[in-house]
Amino acid sequence: MADGPADREAAAVDRLAGKAAGCESGRRRQQQRHGEEKAGSHRLTASAAWLNRRLRRRRRFMADPSTIRRLYGRSKGRPLRVGQESLLEQLLPAVSVPAEGPLDSRILFGDERPLHFEIGFGAGEHLAYRADLLPDHGFIGAEPFLNGVAGALGHIRDRRLANVRLHMGDALDVLERLPDGALRFVYLLHPDPWPKARHAKRRMINPGPLDLIHAKMAPDGEFRLGTDDPVYCRWAMMIMSGRRDFEWLAESASDFLTRPGGWPETRYEAKARRQGHKVWYFRYRRI
Ligand SMILES: C[S@@+](CC[C@H](N)C(=O)[O-])C[C@H]1O[C@@H](n2cnc3c(N)ncnc32)[C@H](O)[C@@H]1O
Calculate the alpha carbon distances from 51 to 6, 10, 46, 47 in Å: 17, 12, 9, 6
Give yes or no for a contact between 266 and 122, defined as CB atoms under 8 angstroms apart: yes
Please give the DSSP secondary-structure letter assigned to residue 200: G
CA pair distance 182, 218, nearest whole angstrom: 6
User: Of 184, 180, 175, 279, which is closest to residue 236 (Cα–Cα)?
Assistant: 279
Write down the pLDDT at residue 42.
56
pLDDT number for residue 63:
45
Instruction: Tell how far the Cα of 191 is from the centroid of ligand 1, in angstroms.
Output: 6
Centre of ligand 1 to C-alpha 161, Å, is 21
Beta pairing, strands 115-119 & 183-189: parallel
Ligand 1 binding residues, C-beta < 6 A:
71, 73, 119-122, 142-145, 148, 170-172, 189-192, 266-269
Nearest C-alpha to atom 12 of ligand 1 is from which residue? 120
Q: Cα(117) to centroid of ligand 1, in Å?
A: 13
* Domains in the chain, number: 1
CATH number of the domain to which 126 belongs:
3.40.50.150
217-227 vs 246-248, strand pairing mode:
unpaired
Active site annotation includes 245: no
In this structure, which residue's CA is closest to atom 5 in ligand 1? 122
Please identify which of the residues 64, 104, 173, 192 carries the catalytic annotation: 192
Protein residue closest via CA to atom 24 of ligand 1: 120
Closest protein CA for atom 22 of ligand 1: 120
- List the one residue out of 204, 125, 132, 123 whose CA is nearest residue 171: 204
What's the pLDDT score for residue 253?
84
The whole-number pLDDT of residue 132 equals 98
Domain interval for residue 49: 5-286
Question: What is the reported pLDDT for 29?
Answer: 44
Q: What is the mean pLDDT of each run of 10 residues along the chain (287 residues)?
A: 42 36 40 50 59 53 54 75 95 98 98 98 97 98 96 98 98 98 98 94 96 98 98 97 97 90 94 96 98
Beta-strand ranges (E) seen in the chain are 115-119, 138-142, 164-167, 183-189, 217-227, 246-248, 280-286
What's the CA-to-centroid distance between 73 and ligand 1, angstroms?
A: 9
Question: What distance in Å separates the CA atoms of residue 24 and residue 47, rounded to the nearest whole number?
Answer: 9
Burial readout 145-169 (b: 16 or more C-beta within 10 A, e: otherwise): bbbbbbbbbbbbeeeebebbbbbbb
CB-based contact 161:128 (threshold 8 Å): yes
pTM for the full predicted model: 0.79
Q: What is the pLDDT of residue 19?
A: 35
Out of 143, 203, 269, give the residue to mutate to test ligand 1, the one with the largest number of ligand atoms within 8 Å of its CB. Answer: 143
What pLDDT does residue 211 have?
97
Amino acid 266 reads T
Q: Residue 148: name the closest of 75, 71, 87 by CA.
A: 75
Ligand 1, from 70, 190, 199, 205: best to mutate by most atoms within 8 Å of Cβ?
Answer: 190
Ligand 1 atom closest to Cα of residue 268: 9
